Structure 1
Amino acid sequence: MAHHSRPGVGHTPTLQSSAAVAGQKRPYDSSISHSSDRNGAASQKRPTPRHHAPNALNGRPTGELPRLTASRIEYADGSVTRATPSEYSQRQAFAATPTSTVDPLLSLSHPAYGLPRQLVANFAALGIKAIYPWQKQCLLGPGLLQGEKNLVYSAPTGGGKSLVADVLMLKRVLQDRDAKALLVLPYVALVQEKVRWLRNIVSGISRDELGPRPPENQPRLWARRADKDTVRVVGFFGGSKVRATWADFDIAVCTIEKANSLVNAAIEDCSVSTLQAVVLDECHMIDDGYRGYLLELMATKLLCLGQPVQIIAMSATLTNIDLLKNWLHGHSYETHYRPVPIEEHLVHNGNAYPAGTTASLLKAVAHLDTRSQFSEPGVQPVRTIKPSAHREFKDPVMNAVVALANETVRAGYGVLVFSSSRAGCESDAVLISRVLPTFAEADPAIQEKRLDLLGDLRSLATGLDVKLEQTIPVGVAFHRKSAGLTTEERELVANAYDQGVLKVCVATCSLAAGINLPARRVILHNARMGRDLVGPAMLRQMRGRAGRKGKDEVGETYLCCRQTDLEDVVDLMHADIPQLESCLISDQRRIRRALLEIIAIRLATSRESLDDYVSRTMLAHSADPDSIQENVEASLADLQKMEFITVGDDDSFEATLLGKAIVASSLDPEDGIFIHNELKQALQAFVMDGEIHVLYNFTPVHDLGGVSVNWRVFWHEMQQLDESGFRVMGFLGLRPATVNQMLHGGTLKERTPEEKGIARRYHRFYLALQLRDLCNETPIHRVAQKYDMPRGSVQSLAQTCQGFAAGMIKFCQTMGWGAMAAALDHFSDRLKAGARSDLLALAKITFVKSRTARIFWDNGFKTVASVANADPKELLPILMQARPSKVRLAERDEQKVMDKLLAKAKIIADSANRLWQIEMQRDLDEE
């Protein structure tokens, strides 16, 4: 293997020195002995160590991958070190930023904010001891702290925008024992992260301090709760085990769909009167036609209520903020403040150009011609990445990505690399890992933490991913949302990166909006998501991850692009973020759903109230009135034709039973028709001597998770069906001959609605086969292998189907189909547990799911009471059996594993105790 004459592994750090990104970084000079050559580069003094991978025998690294050398990076003057401090130095830019000693209003303890002392202390414990001047100005806007005014505001990613919403929301919740708030986020990962954050924020706050209790003869919601004097934060999202109950939370952190469903239910049963605040985070998604339009539906309903509900909308990528301000009748605020400034670069053909301003970027690109000598000073590259002799790095974009990541890590900082595909994530992670310091060179404390991470990943039911096993020992991992890794794997990787155990995280661009993982340097391995260029808003989200508050003085972004993309990338970087606009009539089905919802929950029962609702939409502030009216009339006619609503002689509106069922189950009207027909057919001939027919009804009808049918697998599984399964196929109109035809290259016709319905049934049946395996305790990774799907996709499918199943149960309950609802409910519990019926009780215990529950059962722990009465040490042998990996570990590592399992056993015993007490109380109540 060829190597450079000046190995990149010995470069002097070129990033500004400051505290490590996370944890304690080992001083660079102690890890590599070097001397400087005439250009300031360091030359290696010892042989390149071998890369280590984990050893199955003792959990320690062994083996090797061929080592590579990252390319040398030089500044314009030929040096590899920065001669002078960055012009973006935080000390220079923010030396005049006032503190709370200069401006008392920058302290959250100031009486102007009226926050409880415990809440202020909790913020301080989490590192928020003072607020920024812009946050002060925003919070003190007219009527905001009093809840009298709505708020729309925009601040850069990392600028502290969430704190403003948290303060306003908590003010509303803490001012009244019954007050409730909704915080709406677009992604499940963000919901889970926010729940953990808010629970820490409200920890220890007693509602006894917040005012007198209501009179005993006027019991209110809190009086029915055992934890009435605490602030309860609950997360609601598709596939979560929590069933949305308005009375059981004070702050609900929800995905968009769950929030809309909660508001519908609360308006219908009149419990919405306790709602005091709604936070719409990432509100720029309101013009996302696929799901963001639900934000507009929900917010418009709140505007129609005859009660004050403070709406707080925020985003890092808002352009026409005045539209939202006018729509919500609120106060608006914009800031471009960022505590950690960002240096931005465009990397092309091995040269990095400053992209600090649009003008300089365009000027630079105008001269990016291979024949140009870059004669103008303004277009000189600030850095040059030398070509590589390694064939793996012949592509200049790949070479730049690896060299820039290597430089960041060797200076002791963290780096995020955004790749365009799942396969690209793995490839980038492996190549970067081959140029970094080896496991043996890492600080002993970091070595132990990386081994612990490998152990935690290996102990998961899915086992350890082979490529993560290669890359984690040198501090590199990939994080693929939903597709490749399971939720548990992604959480472990994200936490390890956040703590500095991992230095490089390679992700698809969905991570930029899906989780909060900042870095000193962000590298974009081109600006594409698959084949398509990312949009300006997504690009800003990715670049906004650069810079860690309190740990970095500056953030850096490097967008690496190839010649064929250069013009498009420049246009992208130059492009303004698109103006927000309503998408209710961009697809008529959306306005149709909006009208059906408000009629079903009786928010609009007359033409006057319906017109009032339409006039309060964002659509009414941005579209032609005649066009709106035309769409409303057409949608009302369609809803009548579909038999979802009836219209009286006096122009009164009422939802039919079917219309109410569709709204209760959160279905779109068109999907509701399909589901209604499917369930009606099932009621006439429901196959109860097997599982497939029930599970078929759990599979989504619209969002099928991007899962394509593997017809070879379909054919094989069809051959294994029993008589019950073949009867289900017959009732659904699925023909073995068609499956055989597809196996040999045929195609399903989807030209007519009937043909589309048949194609959808084949797809749903294929998904039902996977659910059948999951319900029968087949581990996720086995199902993934069997159906040739990523493990994360199988898990995501199961979670999506759990949420859809809840909707189907509500549909049947509303229609009065109680027996069908009961059957679906039972199998919904099995799907959540990933287990057969006999394990459902055990599967409610924390950490006891599927395979683990079966091992408990086989060892005599067949009831919750038996687990609750066991000593945690009695559970250790069972948890040892449940470990998926039977590797032999060194004595010290074995003891660490035993300590972790004992801690897990205690949590299991405590959880079983709580469940047992609930069961005993229920038995007493029934007596």
Structure 2
Amino acid sequence: MLGDGSRGAVIEMTLAKLLYMSKSTQIIGMSATLGNIKDLQTFLKAENYTNDFRPVELKEFVKLKDTIYEVTPKEENCFTFSRLLNFKYSSAMQKLDPDHIIALVTEVIPSHSCLVFCPTKKNCENVAAMICKHLKDDFLQLKEKEKSILLQELKASGNGAVCPVLSRTVRYGLAYHHSGLTAEERRLVEEAYSNGVLCLLTCTSTLAAGINLPARRVILRSPYVAADFLKRSQYKQMVGRAGRAGIDSTGESVLILQDKDKSMAQSLVSAPMENCFSNLMHDEGKGLLSLILSLIGLNMCRCVAEVEAFLSGTLLCVQQQRVCVDQTLTQTVHQSIELLREKNLITVTTESHSQTLQVTRLGRATFKGSVDLTHSEVLYSDLSKGLEGLLLNSFLHLIYLVTPYDMVSVCKPDWMLYFTQFTLLSASEQKMSAAVGVPESFVARKAAGQSVKKGINMAVVRRMYLALVLFALLKETNLWSVAERFQMSRGFIQNLLSSASAFCSCVLHFTEELEELWPFKALLVELNRRLSYCVKAELIPLMEVNGIMELRARQLYSAGYKTLTHLASADPAALCKNIENLFRKQAEMMVASAKMLLNEKAAVLQEEVDDLLMTPLDLPTELFI
């Protein structure tokens, strides 16, 4: 993950700071798909332990037409004949399933588990539905009670709604798994698969890394992820899911190939692992700029020499000849410091032949708010401009200001939907939209398919569209209905909500460092609570309790447990009686969590009281006469 774009840059920054500040912290890194271990070993000043032991043997295969070949990288053509696929397809079925996925999965399910990796999210759903159409009715009787409970839980997580595809496939012991599902749906599907309630998942490549869901057989529907050919590390992560220690004696993978992909697949299975490179220079050195700003802001480095000394302990320094081809690390540091100075994030003062580095107010706000450097100036401008005519009779303006900039690029508005939602806004909300750069006339012309004049900032237009999605979500608090209305996946809507909540917190910390933006401090605290829980205001106190989701909060509120105090003083037995599908252990945990929260809030209030009592009052003597 160190080599994974901006996320890798953040990990490298964190590790470098830990190594710089603490000599006793132990860092353990693990990887099954890393080529240049020596670089990481040098960066982390680590010992290296390597072992090729695998508790369950893995056999790799590829399928071409109706023939299965075993992967033998040491052989000349990498593939050795294994067997012919045993299947009997009708002509109609051959047309429906030309890759013989049904034949491959029915060789192992339902007695063993199976994962089918698909190139796209839509393909996951289509493949799961196709397999179900050709399974025997015997599958419906297996673990029927457990599957019924799973469907009830999925329905509860969707506030009464369940995906039509899952509703059909779960009855057969199948499900799909991708980012279009909500976090709660993914958790339920993963648990059901781990417990054997589901015997097959169709999934995207994201399931291969970080989630422990092994299988007897792993099938790769295609050697592509979206339009890109698989990398060696991606392939190894996927096939590495095969083989369940303690359950299966063997694991096997099958990569489905077309003739045109055969030569590339031969290179894939025999290629060495990809190397991991520093991402501090990713996206025009944004990671390095953020790192230097935080080092100056945290007083870890006060001059250029100290910055260079710190950077000598980064992965970037280890790999500088390969990552910084055109210049030395010293040149890169000086260039980065000059860029930060030009952005008004730091000041550089020359005294006695040395340069002292300090953060400006904007720089402090940027690093304390964890705001992306490329957005800090725009954010300050948007907030300052917003103060001139801040709309306070609606959340829309505030929501727009905390809509994440980095999600704008993936937004493709449906112009008719955009116009429809725009017309539902009040006059003041439409005026606010025009003020930020999205007038009704522009949206109307786009909806009518007409050309529009240049001069409209499309990033602002897309950001307002995402703000309308969030605005609808806060008003209705029903993720499913909003997803359906805007024709977006519920997983994307949930991701947008969580990103907006996180960015709202960043903006709050950003404004706390800039006195001129003081009105936002109080306003954003309440909005952050709304975005964090996305429920009716009266349910928020209950949602703070560990383990309580929206449906449970509504049940508790309807049963009379309307506050933390009510819940903390509740009898777990009475709770189980009054709340549907609530087990005693869950009730006890909820009551205990509510009590803990109450105690924490009481302790904070007591501290405030103690501080007030200890503060000397400078009052006129006349008051005491």
TM-score by length of 2: 0.89
Matches within 5 A, 1:819-830: 819-830=519-530
Q: Distance in 1 between matches of 2:533 and 2:20?
A: 40
State the match for 2:320 in structure 1: 623
Q: Secondary structure at the match of 2:219?
A: strand
State the match for 2:277 in structure 1: 581
Number of residue-to-residue matches in the alignment: 599
State the match for 2:495 in structure 1: 796
Change (3 A) 1:390 1:867: farther
State the match for 1:384 in structure 2: 85
Q: Return 5+ residue gaps in structure 2 as ranges.
A: 610-625
State the match for 1:774 in structure 2: 473
Q: Secondary structure at the match of 1:689?
A: coil
Q: CA deviation at 1:865?
A: 2.1
Task: Tell me, yes or no, if the aligned pair for 2:65 and 2:99 is still in contact at 8 Å.
Answer: no
1:85-142 Cα deviation digits (max 9, x unpaired) = xxxxxxxxxxxxxxxxxxxxxxxxxxxxxxxxxxxxxxxxxxxxxxxxxxxxxxxxxx
Change (3 A) 1:694 1:879: farther
State the match for 2:337 in structure 1: 636
State the match for 1:315 in structure 2: 31
The answer on 1:553 being equivalent to 2:249 is yes
Q: Secondary structure at the match of 2:158?
A: coil
State the match for 1:667 in structure 2: 371
Stretch of structure 1 that moved more, 381-390 or 310-319: 381-390
Change (3 A) 1:623 1:915: closer
Q: Distance in 2 between matches of 1:723 and 1:901?
A: 49
State the match for 1:528 in structure 2: 224
Q: CA deviation at 1:504?
A: 0.7
The answer on 1:915 being equivalent to 2:619 is no
State the match for 2:410 in structure 1: 706
Q: Distance in 2 between matches of 1:783 and 1:863?
A: 28
Task: Tell me, yes or no, if the aligned pair for 1:304 and 1:613 is still in contact at 8 Å.
Answer: yes
Q: CA deviation at 1:469?
A: 1.4
Task: Tell me, yes or no, if the aligned pair for 2:157 and 2:551 is still in contact at 8 Å.
Answer: no
Change (3 A) 1:471 1:677: same
Q: CA deviation at 1:386?
A: 4.1
Q: CA deviation at 1:701?
A: 0.7
2:535 corresponds, among 832, 835, 855, to 835
Q: CA deviation at 1:396?
A: 6.3
Q: Distance in 1 between matches of 2:450 and 2:308?
A: 50
Q: Secondary structure at the match of 2:405?
A: coil
2:128 corresponds, among 407, 429, 438, to 429
Task: Tell me, yes or no, if the aligned pair for 1:406 and 1:435 is still in contact at 8 Å.
Answer: no
Change (3 A) 1:302 1:849: closer
Matches within 5 A, 1:227-306: 285-305=1-21
State the match for 2:346 in structure 1: 645
1:603 corresponds, among 300, 311, 317, to 300
Q: CA deviation at 1:425?
A: 0.8
The amino acid that maps onto 2:530 is: R
Q: Distance in 2 between matches of 1:305 and 1:614?
A: 13
Change (3 A) 1:391 1:592: same
1:606-655 Cα deviation digits (max 9, x unpaired) = 12201102222222222237343333222211111110011111311111
State the match for 1:677 in structure 2: 381
Matches within 5 A, 1:395-434: 397-399=98-100, 401-410=101-110, 412-434=111-133
Root mean square deviation, CA, Å? 2.6
The amino acid that maps onto 2:171 is: P
Q: CA deviation at 1:605?
A: 0.8
Q: Distance in 1 between matches of 2:459 and 2:549?
A: 31
Q: Return 5+ residue gaps in structure 1 as ranges.
A: 1-284, 365-378, 881-897
Stretch of structure 1 that moved more, 537-546 or 818-827: 818-827
1:664-707 Cα deviation digits (max 9, x unpaired) = 22222111121121112123332222101111122111234833
Looking at secondary structure, tell me which structure has more helix per residue. Answer: 2
Q: Distance in 2 between matches of 1:713 and 1:298?
A: 43
Task: Tell me, yes or no, if the aligned pair for 1:319 and 1:578 is still in contact at 8 Å.
Answer: yes
Task: Tell me, yes or no, if the aligned pair for 1:397 and 1:525 is still in contact at 8 Å.
Answer: no
Q: Distance in 1 between matches of 2:252 and 2:279?
A: 35
Q: Distance in 2 between matches of 1:856 and 1:308?
A: 48
The amino acid that maps onto 2:44 is: L
The amino acid that maps onto 2:235 is: L
State the match for 1:96 in structure 2: none
Q: Distance in 2 between matches of 1:722 and 1:852?
A: 33
1:862 corresponds, among 553, 556, 562, to 562
The amino acid that maps onto 1:459 is: A
Task: Tell me, yes or no, if the aligned pair for 2:402 and 2:500 is still in contact at 8 Å.
Answer: yes
1:395-426 Cα deviation digits (max 9, x unpaired) = 66531x2211111015x111111011111111
State the match for 1:394 in structure 2: 95
Q: Distance in 2 between matches of 1:834 and 1:646?
A: 41
The amino acid that maps onto 1:642 is: K
Change (3 A) 1:543 1:748: farther
The answer on 1:570 being equivalent to 2:266 is yes
Q: CA deviation at 1:858?
A: 5.7
TM-score by length of 1: 0.61
Q: Distance in 2 between matches of 1:428 and 1:306?
A: 51
Q: CA deviation at 1:568?
A: 2.3
Change (3 A) 1:548 1:697: same
Q: Secondary structure at the match of 2:48?
A: strand
Q: Distance in 1 between matches of 2:478 and 2:138?
A: 32
The amino acid that maps onto 1:393 is: Q
Q: Distance in 2 between matches of 1:663 and 1:634?
A: 19
State the match for 1:64 in structure 2: none
Matches within 5 A, 1:377-526: 379-386=80-87, 388-394=89-95, 397-399=98-100, 401-410=101-110, 412-439=111-138, 442-443=141-142, 446-462=143-159, 463-480=161-178, 482-483=179-180, 485-526=181-222
The amino acid that maps onto 1:806 is: S
State the match for 2:449 in structure 1: 745
Q: Secondary structure at the match of 2:115?
A: strand
The amino acid that maps onto 1:835 is: V
Task: Tell me, yes or no, if the aligned pair for 2:8 and 2:278 is still in contact at 8 Å.
Answer: no
Q: Secondary structure at the match of 2:27?
A: strand
Change (3 A) 1:519 1:866: same
Q: Distance in 2 between matches of 1:812 and 1:413?
A: 55
Q: CA deviation at 1:534?
A: 2.2
Change (3 A) 1:666 1:909: same
Percentage of matched positions with identical amino acids: 27
Task: Tell me, yes or no, if the aligned pair for 1:614 and 1:620 is still in contact at 8 Å.
Answer: yes
Change (3 A) 1:673 1:387: farther
1:721 corresponds, among 415, 420, 425, to 425
1:834-871 Cα deviation digits (max 9, x unpaired) = 13434432332345555654565566543222333444
Stretch of structure 1 that moved more, 668-677 or 615-624: 615-624
Q: Distance in 2 between matches of 1:806 and 1:563?
A: 52
Q: CA deviation at 1:567?
A: 2.4
Q: Distance in 2 between matches of 1:440 and 1:578?
A: 41
The amino acid that maps onto 2:414 is: N
State the match for 1:344 in structure 2: 60
Q: CA deviation at 1:384?
A: 2.5
1:18-68 Cα deviation digits (max 9, x unpaired) = xxxxxxxxxxxxxxxxxxxxxxxxxxxxxxxxxxxxxxxxxxxxxxxxxxx
